Amino acid sequence: MENFIRIEDLTRAEMLRFFELARDMEIMREMGSDLCKGRILGAMFYEPSTRTRLSFESAMFRLGGNVLGFADPNSTSFAKKETLADTIHMLCNYADVLVIRHFWAGAARLAALHSTVPVINAGDNANQHPTQTLTDLYTLWKARENLSGMTVGVCGDLRFGRAAHSLVYGLAAFDVNIVLIAPEGLELPEEEMWRLDQQYGAKVSRARHPGHVIEDLDALYVNRLQKERLPDDLDAEEIQRIASQYRIDAALIARAKPTCLALHPLPRVDELARELDDDPRAVYFEQSSNGVPVRMALLALALGRAPSNPFEPKKTEAQTHAAPVCRSKTCVSAHEPDVPALTETVGLATLRRVCHFCGRFV
Ligand code: NCD
């Protein structure tokens, strides 16, 4: 594996082979392993994280490797205005694989451009969170084996939730019936909607409230309101009021199928009632635990130490433009100097151009 930046780069067959590898890692997690002995993970966390950072660190320790990094960018030369490109040039002298979480969309893609070691995206603003998606799909696969034909509700803040943005592509790759359940103003962005339709031919329906569809679902994936990403022109109080109507509680889950799984990338705030924790269908803590074998598999692959390679070589055709073309304010190209103006073509019958970094239409 070279870099792992976004979930669309993986096919269903690759993900299925990857799940087998992750399952093998569960044994190494218990027994201990020297698979990545002598190797160093650089964990670069520019945004808050509990599960993602610590499960990556745990994964590296379980594989016999070492970890360095930071969880607060203000303790690094970022506070002295060092560019991301320069920081990456340094870090790849100190580590053999980099895991980066950043508050600019496309930062992991840019990091990969400058890095001489593999880069793994641990979440870039509201763009993607592909290692979370592998964890989510692995959780469903372990429970159900065959994801195809399942009906999965993806509920909550679908506009700013990066976990949801990568999840929908992952579900589409498995021919899952996707039910998007979002309050007004927090719907899935047009790029994701368009690509689900044009690139995946996905079966997508929409609902305004989980109560309208709960009986139909084989799994319900809940997302919190991403308060920290609400733009200034949105009325945060009004959005919070609307989002609070999306609380998933025991009364709602009582109406669900006896086999309907409840997932959440965590952290939860108040969208998921604690009374659900003891329900065997609530698998969100197991899901966060699954992040360890999934990230063990990703690190072993990135370091060329995995016993098998589920992934085919990747080729991304990006087109260079003379002047910047991305208009997104959260894109790395709007903040970092000298980012090359790159776009990519997406779609099948109809084609559109998107920013190579943040994936938004240009
Ligand atoms: C998610 C994230 O950071 O995007 N958390 C995680 O990594 N498990 C979801 C969230 O913060 O809402």
**What is the residue with the minimal CA distance to atom 6 of ligand 1?**
265
pLDDT tens string 24-39: 999 999 999 999 999 9
163 lines ligand 1 (CB under 6 A): yes
Helix (H) / strand (E) containing 100: strand 97-102
| Confidence check: pLDDT of 1 > 80 | no
Of the segments 236-240, 316-320, 341-345, which one has the largest average pLDDT value? 341-345
| Ligand 1 nearest atom to the CA of residue 163, by list position | 4
Whole-model pTM: value is 0.97
pLDDT tens string 113-167: 999 999 999 999 999 999 999 999 999 999 998 999 999 999 999 999 999 999 9
CA of 115 to the centre of ligand 1 (A): 25
User: Confidence band (pLDDT; 50, 70, 90) for 236?
Assistant: confident
Q: Which of 39, 53, 101, 159 is catalytic?
A: 101
Residue to mutate, 52, 223, 268, 270, ligand 1, most ligand atoms under 8 Å from C-beta: 52
Alpha helices in the chain (DSSP H): 12-31, 51-62, 84-94, 107-114, 130-144, 162-173, 190-198, 236-243, 250-253, 284-302
Query: Cβ–Cβ contacts within 10 Å for residue 78, how many?
Result: 16
Nearest to 95 by CA among 299, 313, 307: 299
